[in-house]
Amino acid sequence: MKTAFTSIFALLCTVCTSAEPSLSGHSLQLVKASRPLVVDNFTQPERAGRRLTRGEWKIAGEIGSCTQDEELFKKYRDHGPAIWYDQDFQDAIIHFEFQPSSECQQFVFTVNGKDGHVFRFVTNETATDIRAWDVNHQGKRLVADGPGLAKEKWTPVTVELAGTKASLQIGDSYKMTVEDSSYAVPKIVVGVSFHHGTLKLRNFQLFEAATK
């Protein structure tokens, strides 16, 4: 009886802790969490809704990792390995941690709608830019002076999408909120990709958001 009670208690604790995102010290800027839509701790090699593309991804030790294959990079027209999550949502909180190797030159986070890209930030070796797309689906940079890649270390990232606004937090100090009318559309896919070297990813969370 005691063993059964302990198991039930542990399960309830797991449910309780999964009701709020674990943000690695970040605080929410625009929204509050409603319910989890994707919580990927990388404990299973296969997961419904997760697509491992353009490279040989390994799932082990609660980490997803991949080293770029240069031939595949050429095949996919200079697009590196990517992880995609197929999930319908509107406003959301997305949080994860990533670690680029010393050879990595670029990290990309993307949110797509049914008509293509909606939100993106791109971090290279010197800076980060935040992007939106106009009515003709032409990309535009809203911010271009964020931090560069912190290589060989884990960096937490939190993205909040709320109507026409988006908030981005990278690491311990960078916070930026931008606004564009194109953000206020239904979203269907979220994911990350990179160029060159190796990328490690852990603690990927997508929570439905409720406006504060």
CA count, 13 A, side-chain hemisphere, 139: 13
Q: What is the mean pLDDT of residues 43-56?
A: 96
62 exposure class (CB count in 10 Å sphere: 0-12, 13-18, 19+) = exposed
Domain ranges of the chain: 2-211
Beta-bridged to residue 39, according to DSSP, are: 205
What does the pLDDT average to over 194-209? Answer: 97
pLDDT score at 7: 40
Give 12's pLDDT tier (boundaries 50, 70, 90). Answer: very low
Q: Please, what is the average pLDDT of the chain?
A: 91
Render pLDDT for 18-31 as a digit per residue (tens, 0 to 9). 578 999 999 999 99
Whether the Cβ atoms of residue 83 and residue 53 lie closer than 8 Å to each other: yes
- Poorest-confidence range of 18-27, 153-162, 180-189? 18-27
Query: 11 pLDDT exceeds 90?
Result: no
| H or E element, residue 133 | strand 128-133
Fold of 2-211: Jelly Rolls (2.60.120)
Quick one: pLDDT band at residue 212, thresholds 50, 70, 90?
Answer: low
